[in-house]
Amino acid sequence: MIDRAVPAPTPPSRGNPPAQDAVPTPAATAPVIGQAALDSLAVALRGWGRELGFDEIRVADVDLRHAEAGLLAWLQAGCHGDMDYMANHGTRRARPHELVPGTVRAIVARMPYLPADGPADWRRHELARLDDPATAVVSLYARGRDYHKVLRNRLQQLAARIETEIGRFGYRVFTDSAPVMEVALASQGGLGWRGKHTLLLDREGGSMFFLGEILVDIPLPADPAEAPHCGSCRRCIDICPTGAILEPYRLDARRCISYLTIEHKGPIPEPLRAPMGNRVYGCDDCQLACPWNKFAHRATLPDFDVRNGFDAPDMVDLFGWTEAEFNQRLEGSPIRRIGHERWLRNLAVGLGNSLRRAAADDPALAARIRAALRACQDTATPLVREHVDWALAQDPAAD
């Protein structure tokens, strides 16, 4: 998700472009509520949230001044790459009260997305798939329904439930859809801490979850922040295929496979193509390596069940989808946001890497890959053609 790329200001960040926010309740004068009632409401929120599929709900203070300097330095260094929308709003990302006037608290929520029917040893299973040249690897979070729609709808229901209890109040719902520092707010509210890979981590839930927020104008009691528990571990840093995690808590999106396959619109830099391997949409390596993810929760909603066989899709078959098939098959999927051209671009890189490996060990697979790439050459757009030509050049038989 977007905020994963923003570094923590001091040592102790799923991404997609901004989507339309849920329609907010019109600004209203915050109801006058006694402290006992506010305390009771904060407790009730957690139960209501679980009924809606969230595994944790907390309340965060919205003063993020401590994160502002780190955000600006990260942007100035250009680590956001093509994600101009991250720079367009400047310091508003660290000032929720400027984004939604009257905001005094953020209700922060997380929802697990690890497919419910996956294998018990899912981390080992996913790492093994990276060594299968016939298979395309799609990030776990993107194998089901688009999380933006699911979380926004559920958060809106939660806000409506609050309204039935206290009357009209000012609020606005967000899910990776506006200039909000989601990880900073979530960690400030005690949902977890920012790990060295910049994602939010929790000792009881790992990091395989989505984040969402409701900015509110009612002074709910704020939960305390969670202390970091990464210690000296650096497994997420060491496993990153492209060296995108420059140092603990600092990620250069321009080198991140999630950014390259989702956010980046142009050609993938050639030095980074081979390290991508068969990862065609997103990358989970840093999460697979994290010890805390042995405690990751399974999704409780069917929305995140695997679709389109994305737990083990055939890469050549995916490359053969026409634009109409791409749009039809991926209706309701977050993958559809990147469009058919970037989908083919990513797959061409994956096929080139697989061709290099399969040429000696699996002649039949190598022949399928060559045929698929050559069939695309004459009709491909310039962007796709560049990557197809590169992929064919990876064939040892072409030397």
User: Per-residue pLDDT tens for 342-352?
Assistant: 999 999 999 99
pLDDT for residue 23 is more than 80: no
pLDDT in tens, 108-155: 999 999 999 999 999 999 999 999 999 999 999 999 999 999 999 999
For residue 18, count CB atoms less than 10 angstroms from its CB and return exposed for 0-12, middle for 13-18, buried for 19 or more.
middle
| φ/ψ of residue 363, rounded to 5 | -55, -35
- Whole-angstrom distance, CA of residue 333 vs CA of residue 18: 15
Residue 20 reports pLDDT greater than 70: no
> Which parts are annotated binding residues?
93, 176, 200, 211, 230, 233, 236, 240, 256, 258, 265, 283-284, 286, 290
Q: Quick one: average pLDDT of 312-320?
A: 97
User: Above 70 in pLDDT, residue 17?
Assistant: no
Contacts of 308 (CB under 8 A, 6+ apart): 143, 329, 330, 333
**Known binding-site positions for tRNA:** 265
Bridge partner residues of 61 (DSSP): 105
Known binding residues for cob(II)alamin are: 93, 176, 200, 211, 258, 283-284
Evaluate whether 341 touches 377 at the Cβ level (below 8 Å).
no
Inform me whether the pLDDT recorded for 91 exceeds 80: no
Q: Which residues participate in the annotated binding site for [4Fe-4S] cluster? A: 230, 233, 236, 240, 256, 283, 286, 290
Cβ contact 56:109 at 8 Å: yes
User: Residue 30's pLDDT is what?
Assistant: 65
pLDDT of 215 higher than 70 = yes
Reported as a pLDDT band with limits 50, 70 and 90, residue 2 is very low
Which of 55, 61, 146, 176 is an active site residue?
176
CA 383 – CA 374 distance, rounded (Å): 15
Give CA–CA dist 339/326, Å, rounded: 8
Q: Is 176 a catalytic residue?
A: yes
Please report the pLDDT score of residue 78 as a whole number.
86
Enumerate domains of the chain plus CATH numbers: 35-117+143-216 (3.40.109), 234-295+307-393 (no CATH)
Instruction: Give the mean pLDDT of the chain.
Output: 90
Least confident of 31-35, 89-93, 324-328: 89-93
Q: Which residue has the higher pLDDT, 205 or 85?
A: 205
User: Angle between the 363-377 and 382-393 helix axes, to the nearest 10 degrees?
Assistant: 150
- The count of C-alpha atoms lying within 13 angstroms of the C-alpha of 287, restricted to the half-sphere facing its C-beta, is 27
